[in-house]
Structures are given as C-alpha cells and as structure tokens.
Structure 1
Amino acid sequence: MATETLKVSTLGGANVFEANTFEEWQERMSNRFVRLQVSTSRPDNFHALLHGRSFDDISLSRIEADAHQVDRLQDFICQGEARYFKLSMLLGGAGLIVQDGREAVLGPGDMAIYDTSRPYSAVFEDGADSLVMVFPQDALSVSVESVARLTATTLSSTTGMGRLVGPFLRELAGSLESLSGRGGIMLAHNTLDLINTLVYTELGLGAQRPDPRTDALAEVKEYIERNLASSTLGPAGIAAAHYMSTRRLHYLFEGAGTTVASWIKMRRLDRCRRDLADPALGAATITRIATRWGFTDSAHFSRAFKAAFGATPSEYRRAH
C-alpha cells in the first residue's frame, strides 16, 4: 500500500484524512466507525476526503469521496459490542441506504438513519458529499424497536421537522473545523436533541400518551452517563439520587431487558474502548484509562473487556 499518499492532519481540532488510493480509504473507513467492508467498481484514481470530530460518544464526519460502497456484514457484528445509530445527510450527489428490506434513495438534503447492530449497505456515487453522525442507541428517548420502523427510509429536509433539522445539519457540516471545547460538546448534544425530535415526530409519537417508565429510565441513564467515572456508582446511590427505591430502579431496567450493573459495566467498557482507540490518549496507560472510567481492578477490567470485545485491552489498542 502506498501509504505516503495518505494525508492526515488536524485543522481547527478536526481530524482530516485525505486518501488518493482506494486501499487507503478502505483501511480508514473500515476502522473509523464500526467494522465495515468497503468496495468500489473503479479503484483506480480514487480520491476521498474526510473531516471528523468526536464529542463525548458522538461522532460527526463530513465525507467527500468517489463512488464506493460500504457493507456492515453479519459476520462483523459481535455480541456484546456497543450499539449505535448512524444518521447520514446527503449534502451533494446521490446515495442509497439499505437495511431491514428497505431502501432510502438520497438526494441533496435527504437524510436516513440506520442501525450498526444489524447488517446494512450504503452506496454513494461520484461526487457524493455527506454528513455522518454516529451516536449510541440509548441516546435517543425512542426505543430501538420503534426506530427500527424508520431505518433506511428517506427523511426529507423540505417537509415536517426536516425543514428545521436539515438546514441546521448543513450549516454544521460546513463548520466542523470551528467546533472545539465545551462549546463543541454542547453543540453536538444539541444536534442529538434535534435528531431525537426528528425521529420522534417522524414516527408520529407526539400524539401518544407519555410513558412515565420510559421517561424515568432515560433520566436514570443520563445520570449514569454523567457519573461513570465514580467507582462508587451503584444501584443504592442511583436510586437515592432519583428519590426511588432500588426495587423500582431494578424494575425500570428489567423492562429494558438488562440490569443496572450490566448497563453501568457496558457503558464503562465502551468509554474505555473509545479511549484505547484514541491516538490523543496513546501515552495513557491501560490502567489509567480503566481507572478513569470506574474500574478499580485491572485484572477484572481486562477479563470484562475481552468478554465484551473479543480482545484484551492491549490487543485492541494495537489493532486500532
């Protein structure tokens, strides 16, 4: 591989990747988000450019590339790995998102959401310019089962809530380099709130009666996310902070098909996984990263990480 033609730089805090061969782009795309198969019918003279930013567990990328296809194959999906939604907005050109037996044909201004925990395909023609947002599934107030009704459907920026969300995303795509610090984090979360509203309204949930249990669970999950670094985070403290019994707390998570302890461990492991793959934290020891997210026993952390991701922390760091 002619890696000398790959340009990697930092501009205004954004990571900028430029590839002048398809092999370089294939490697970059296969590792940036979730594991993907990347292909093209015209590998010669291939060119692509990516501007990427990450804020907490939200990733924003603007991608301009020659014609190519990415496939999330069933064999690439590991049990226990963190689950994400992707939202793509086409800024120019043409594209296609396929998942769950549906096809979303995208033109400029169109959007589509898809699920990384199930197979999908994304096809882009020459000149395609898109904004891709990746975020945890639990970041939405809408259930995964409800969102599954919306995957790979075309969401227009000219109708409904899309008329507000679309122009905002277009401006965001042109401003990735200027986002930084706490302001960038706040804007990323505000963007996620808009996506949440878009999904909510597209599913026609506005007229439905609110579910107090769903609201309570979302509030508890947000509290856990803010306090993952605390080694004392546990059911008793969480329940007390929300003026509920531990029995009710366990009931909330039981309805979501998990337990409080499992949820905390999964979120901590995912934060550690992201830190281990972050070049900016290359000098941080694995123990330091584990401790940063509430793991006090290195051996236990290593076992839990391998069980979740199929590799030890050191193996995962080397591979990424």
Structure 2
Amino acid sequence: MSSGALEDSVPPRPVAAAETDDGDRFAAHLARSLAPLRVRPLGDGTFHSSVRSAAAGEVQVSVVSGSPCVLTRGPELIDPGDPAFLAVALLREGRAGVTQDGRHCLLGPGDLVNHVTSRPYEVTFWEPYEAVVVTVPVAALGSHADALSGRTAVAVGTDCGPRDVVGVLFEGLAAKVDACTLGAASRSKEYLADAIVSLVIAELVDIAPQSAGDDLADRVLAHCLASLSDPGLTVESVARAHGVSVRYLHKVLAPTGSTLSAWIRRQRLERVCRDLVDESLHGRTAAAIAARWGVTDTEHLSRALKAEFGMTAGEIRRSGRWERGGPRPLHA
C-alpha cells in the first residue's frame, strides 16, 4: 500500500507522545508504549528523551530517541501471565548494543534487531540515538513464532538486498507516527497490521545465528564503548577481560581490516569532539573533556584531532558544531 493510499484511507487519531528530562518518567512512558523497563542514564550531561507511538491493530509503532542510557528488562519486571511481544527495532541514529539469550550484538544506523519482551534483555545506547520500534504479538507470528523468538540480539543490515524493504517500511511508519495517521476505526488498520507482520516474517525468519567469533567481536566492542573513560583500556586489558589471548583477539577482529587500538582511539576522539561543541560543557577545558574519555596525553590532543578530523580542539569549539557523518564501524 502506498503512503498516499494510507493517508487517504486512514483518518488521523491522537498519538501517544511524551518528552522527558528524567529517567523515571521516561521509564513510565516506555512501560505504556513498549514494556516495563529500568532506565539508567549514562554520562553527566542533561538527560533528554522522547517517545512517540501509534497503533495499527495489535501492532504498535514507536519512535524513541534521547540521551545515552541503558534500558534493562529484568526478571522482576516480567509477569509470566503477560502476553509476549516480538519487538523489531531499526536504529536510525547513534550506536547501540542489545543483549538477550546469551547473545550480544552491536548496531549502527540502518541496522535491525529483534528481541522478545517475555525474556530479560538489555539495550545500551552509548550516544544520542533515535530508533523505530515495531512490536508484534508473538501469537500473531503463527508457525514462525519460535524461529523469530529464537533469533534475538542479531544485527541485520538494511543497506542492501531484500531487507532494504523492511528499512523503507520502518522509515515510512515513523513518518506516519509523526503525522498521526497509523490508527483508524476501519479495516484499513487491520490490513496494515497484517502487512507489517507478513513483511517482518518474510525478511527476518531466515536470519542465521551469530558465530562464536562474531559474538565475541560484538562483546569486545561493547566492552570498549562502555570503558572508553578508563585510561587503562588497552588491547591487553580487553583480552584479559574476555579470557582470550591478544593473538586470538586480533584474529577475531582481523576481518574488519583495522586494529582495535585504532578503533578505540577514534571512538574517544569522536566523543571529545561532541563534548567540545556541547554548550552545557563550555565551562570545562579541552583537557578536562579529553580526560573524561580516557585521553590523558592532552599535549598532543589538538594534533590528534587535526589529524583525524581536520580541526584542532580550539577550532572545533569555536565552530560550535561538529558533524562526523555517522559513527564509523571498526573497519572504517
């Protein structure tokens, strides 16, 4: 169905929307739109969040955005009597990690991932983010319920191949949430819900489980993102933390075409740049900001920023803006 047809056949209805500056209020809004979750803000800046959602039949579409945070659905929040939902998320901005069923994956802009609400999971957003989340009752998945529910925490790209259709659909649904045109009192919403469920099944049911090496690579990068502020973060410390040798760690990450130390360095410098242009942090020196991200060699800070991004710390701060064109993966 084209977007024009959807607009013609589905009259607008109010959309649940909320913007908050408090983690507890954000959790309350998430409980109404997605599932009960605990929210732990990351960083020491001002916390912002937004949830916009609408429904088409039993399918819920939400656009969630905000400051870096950790969303956790622990066993204490799960009622065995509650209906189970499959949540499929498209990350539009930022970088995130998802953990469920013993697996962990990393997501960048354009990646899809699914998890189920009936089992514990955790989502970490290390930087400002926006995601489109579509929740579907597991009961509506029919014979594919077990297959989809068993392929949680596996990142799926939408930049090529047939899954590009899913990415386009999710982007379109996000626009309809903003335009208040998803819900309706007619049968159109039932057709739309069926179409969404069918497409999710068709494009995600054949996802192959991650290999042990892929999962270790994702866990390593997630560990590094969570530990960037630690000046002691090194390839050796990462290898020890994961019980592997440095040689094996290099082997696991070899397909990326870069080194872990270079990736850590760039991640730190990107966050230094982001904080340098943050108006709420203008009272801090460049050295203090760099130390916040584990960069202790401040004597060479501007030189490193110049080499990586073409501007010194002072030039970045005076510009008042910095765009990196999206987070780069390890192989970039």
**TM surpasses 0.5:** yes
Deviation at 1:72, TM superposition (A): 1.1
Match of 2:94 in 1: 93
2:182 to 149, 171, 179: 179
Deviation at 1:44, TM superposition (A): 5.1
- Whichever residue aligns with residue 202 of structure 2, its letter is T
| 1:189 maps to 2:194 | yes
Rate the CA distance shift 1:154–1:129 in 2: closer, same or farther, 3 A.
same
Rate the CA distance shift 1:180–1:154 in 2: closer, same or farther, 3 A.
same
> Whose relative contact order is higher, 1 or 2, with alpha carbons under 8 Å and at least 6 apart?
2
Match of 2:148 in 1: 147
Deviation per residue, 1:194-227 (Å, 9 max, x gap): 10111233369xxxxxxxxxxxxxxxxxxxxxxx
Match of 2:132 in 1: 131
> Which range moves more in the overlay, 40-49 or 129-138?
40-49
Between the aligned partners of 1:165 and 1:32, the Cα distance in structure 2 is 21
Q: Which runs of 5+ in 1 are unaligned?
A: 1-10, 205-320
Deviation per residue, 1:142-188 (Å, 9 max, x gap): 44432244110011102443122112211221222233313344323
Alignment of 1:259-298 (within 5 A): none
Q: Does the Cα contact within 8 Å between 1:21 and 1:44 map onto a contact in 2?
A: no
Runs of 4+ in 1 over 4 A off after TM superposition: none
Match of 2:312 in 1: none
| 1:16 maps to 2:21 | no
Between the aligned partners of 1:27 and 1:12, the Cα distance in structure 2 is 22
Between the aligned partners of 2:182 and 2:133, the Cα distance in structure 1 is 16
Q: Does the Cα contact within 8 Å between 1:89 and 1:112 map onto a contact in 2?
A: yes
Per the alignment, in what secondary structure is the counterpart of residue 156 of structure 2?
coil
Between the aligned partners of 1:28 and 1:62, the Cα distance in structure 2 is 12
The structure whose Rg is larger is 2
| 1:198 maps to 2:241 | no
The TM-score with structure 1 as length reference comes to: 0.56
Match of 1:25 in 2: 26
Between the aligned partners of 1:146 and 1:133, the Cα distance in structure 2 is 18
Between the aligned partners of 1:159 and 1:201, the Cα distance in structure 2 is 16
Between the aligned partners of 1:188 and 1:145, the Cα distance in structure 2 is 20
Q: Does the Cα contact within 8 Å between 1:83 and 1:117 map onto a contact in 2?
A: yes
Q: Does the Cα contact within 8 Å between 1:88 and 1:111 map onto a contact in 2?
A: yes
Alignment of 1:26-175 (within 5 A): 26-42=27-43, 45-175=46-176
Percent same amino acid among aligned pairs? 21
The TM-score with structure 2 as length reference comes to: 0.54
- Whichever residue aligns with residue 79 of structure 1, its letter is P
